Amino acid sequence: MSSSDTHHNQAGFSVAEYVICLNGIVWREALRFLNQRERFVSALVRPLVWLFIFAAGFRQVLGISIIPPYETYILYEVYIAPGLIAMIQLFNGMQSSLSMVYDREMGNMRTLLVSPLPRGYLLFCKLLAGTAVSLLQVYAFLLIAWFWDIAPPPTGYLAVLPALILSGLMLGALGMLISSGIKQLENFAGVMNFVIFPMFFASSALYPLWRVQEGSPLLYYVCLFNPFTHAVELLRFALYGQMNWISLVVVSGCATVFMIGAIWAYDPSRGLIRRGPAGGEI
């Protein structure tokens, strides 16, 4: 079949067929998540340890002054809650990417990528499914945090949803881009840690940027140009019904760039790993 015929077939799919594909991929990811209860528990244990232990220990040391979007002095655990939400999404994005590397080795991803549907759409569906899973984890965390007196305005739980979707897409696309260049499952853990911890610690998740600037101007600029910082700030403002426009632009731009990069990297003719017709590496 010629490339023009292929393009014609791809363009000829109905909306219902695209929806069926999306539904199938999302359900597969949801069923995998439900069958891996330890993944759900581990996703919550990590931020809850930070919230109950780390925040309690540093509450007196790291008092937070009045900064937007807060209108009064706040406890330290209230400040780090948006950062812990973003941490959940960051780890989930990397976990989903790990499953992609596994699927590629086991053959499931190869089967998916030889579907006649556009490759970019298939990867976007996979990304959307991972983001949906992260939303379940985030709202479970927010429910537990509510019992810890971390309670944004009631409207904030709904207002933060678009920001959660956007930040989840950005962090998931980043993980997808990274996974495209990893040939073996064993190499992913090291690369994941190399990405996760610098992004998390060099951000505004744990400390306000003005406090970072007081300690190290260089680190301040590193945090300022860290996309994860803007994901945290987008969530922080959204929880209180406000919009951080700079963070919105940065997160939207990074999500687009990472997604385009992932689609390019998974292209069998131009990607970071050359693949044969069935998705197997050459």
User: Of residues 60 and 93, which shows the higher confidence score?
Assistant: 93
184-220 pLDDT per residue, tens: 666 677 777 788 889 999 999 988 888 888 889 999 9
pLDDT at 113 over 70: no
pLDDT category at 234 given cuts 50, 70, 90 is: very high
pLDDT at 11 over 80: no
The residue among 236, 278, 229 whose CA lies nearest residue 110 is: 278
**CA distance readout (Å), 82 to 19, 222, 257:** 32, 19, 24
Contact by Cβ (8 Å): 100, 176: yes
User: Of residues 176 and 184, which shows the higher confidence score?
Assistant: 176
The residue among 277, 281, 280 whose CA lies nearest residue 1 is: 277
The residue among 31, 42, 204, 10 whose CA lies nearest residue 117 is: 10
Parse the chain into domains and list their residue ranges.
7-273
Strands of the chain, DSSP E: none
Model pLDDT, residue 94: 85
pTM for the structure as a whole: 0.83
- Distance (Å, rounded) from C-alpha 45 to C-alpha 55? 14
10 Å Cβ neighbour count for 70?
A: 14
**CA distance readout (Å), 31 to 9, 103, 263:** 30, 15, 25
- Distance (Å, rounded) from C-alpha 255 to C-alpha 253? 5
10 Å Cβ neighbour count for 80?
A: 26
**CA distance readout (Å), 107 to 104, 115, 254:** 5, 13, 30
pLDDT category at 126 given cuts 50, 70, 90 is: confident
- Distance (Å, rounded) from C-alpha 146 to C-alpha 120? 39
Residue 70 C-alpha from the chain's centroid: 25
The whole-number average pLDDT for the span 255-278 is 68
The whole-number average pLDDT for the span 132-148 is 91
Which region, left, alpha or beta, applies to residue 226 given φ > 0 means left and ψ of -120 to 50 means alpha? beta
Give the type of residue at 170.
M
Share of the chain above pLDDT 90, in %: 34
